């Protein structure tokens, strides 16, 4: 499992983002100060650090400088994504020049955050691509949020992913409409009476009309034999 360090002193942002990241399948340590971040980095190995700049005890830019210069616990090569309300060009350039791999300005859309995390992990943690689920010619990589049909990468929305992932993980199991709706409630989505049918239709368009089978009156399942 991909392990992230989330450094954010705002309790509302911190708690909600940690929950959403865990829902995405990440292991997340959340700390609220720069010194706590340095302590966590000294004790654990992380694939990615999500770093706020306006931190108590030790400012975010100083945390970044120490990560890149001090090589604590071999973390000089860990990916760092700055997440901050500082939106001037000068701040962005400084952060990137200090060694950040990416820079995201608050307020941000959670889907964009996830996309940037996966983009960084593809560059810095290629080993994560080795663990996947495969049914027929479809391969799903849960830790890096990637899906392939043969050699072609397929883009999914987070809601399409929320429906497809459990079905890929448990082939032959029938998922009721209410069960799949619950996956979307986790995203605080408005779920109408035909929402699941709409997303199943989208997935069939991308993966093949017979990939997901409708079990009349019960739900949906994927029951193609694995390669």
Burial of 13 (0-12, 13-18, 19+ CB in 10 A): middle
What confidence category does residue 74 fall into, taking pLDDT thresholds of 50, 70 and 90? very low
Domains and CATH numbers, the chain: 3-124 (3.40.50.2300), 133-222 (1.10.10.10)
Q: pLDDT confidence of 37, banded at 50, 70, 90?
A: very high
- Given a cut of 60, is residue 46 above it in pLDDT? yes
Cβ contacts of 220 within 8 Å, gap of 6 or more:
167, 174, 175, 177, 180, 196, 200, 212, 213, 214
Mean pLDDT of all residues in 86-91: 89
Average pLDDT taken over every residue of the chain: 86
| pLDDT band with cut points at 50, 70 and 90 for residue 75 | very low
Q: What is the pLDDT of residues 145-172, one digit of tens each?
A: 889 998 899 999 888 998 998 899 888 8
pTM: 0.59
In the chain, what percentage of residues exceed pLDDT 90? 52
Who has greater pLDDT, 23 or 215?
Answer: 215
Among 170, 159, 123, smallest CA distance to 144 is for 123
């Amino acid at each position: 499992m991909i392990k992230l360090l989330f450094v954010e002193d705002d309790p509302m942002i911190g708690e909600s983002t940690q929950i959403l990241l865990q829902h995405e399948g990440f292991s997340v340590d959340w700390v609220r100060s720069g010194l706590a971040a340095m302590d966590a980095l000294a004790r654990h190995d992380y694939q990615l650090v999500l770093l706020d700049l306006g931190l108590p005890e030790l400012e975010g830019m100083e945390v970044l400088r120490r990560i890149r210069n001090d090589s604590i616990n071999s973390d000089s090569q860990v990916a760092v994504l700055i997440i901050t309300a500082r939106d001037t060009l000068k701040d962005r350039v400084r952060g990137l020049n200090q060694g950040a791999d990416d820079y995201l300005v608050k307020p941000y859309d959670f889907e964009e955050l996830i996309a940037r995390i996966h983009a960084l992990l593809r560059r810095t943690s290629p080993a994560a691509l080795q663990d996947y689920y495969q049914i027929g010619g479809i391969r799903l990589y849960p830790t890096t949020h990637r899906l392939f049909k043969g050699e072609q990468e397929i883009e999914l929305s987070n809601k399409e992913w929320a429906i497809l992932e459990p079905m890929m993980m448990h082939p032959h199991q029938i998922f009721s409409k209410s069960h799949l709706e619950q996956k979307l409630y986790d995203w605080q989505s408005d779920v109408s009476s035909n929402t699941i049918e709409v997303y199943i239709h989208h997935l069939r368009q991308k993966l093949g009309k017979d990939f997901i089978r409708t079990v009349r009156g019960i739900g949906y399942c994927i029951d193609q034999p694995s390669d």
